[in-house]
Amino acid sequence: MLRVPEAATFLGISVAYLNALRCKGGGPVFVRMGRAVAYHPDDLEKWLADKRRTSTSDRGAAK
């Protein structure tokens, strides 16, 4: 399990952006343990894979 700073580094985004995604939705799956938040590397990889696109106009699969 990766804490927020390590997960943000893994994803190549800022801690602030990862925190915002967690609050607003749309970010990777996370686990809350008391006040601590952690991410499983497999969930981070899946979230990144879901963000893959072939062009800037590609919005991904409809959900």
Condensed to tens digits (0 to 9), the pLDDT of residues 24-49 reads 999 999 999 999 999 999 999 999 99
Distance of CA 46 to the CA centre of its chain: 9
Contact indicator for 21, 27 with CB cutoff of 8 Å: yes
- Specify the pTM: 0.82
What is the overall mean pLDDT for the chain?
92
Q: Assess whether pLDDT exceeds 70 at residue 55.
A: yes
State mean pLDDT over 3-31: 96
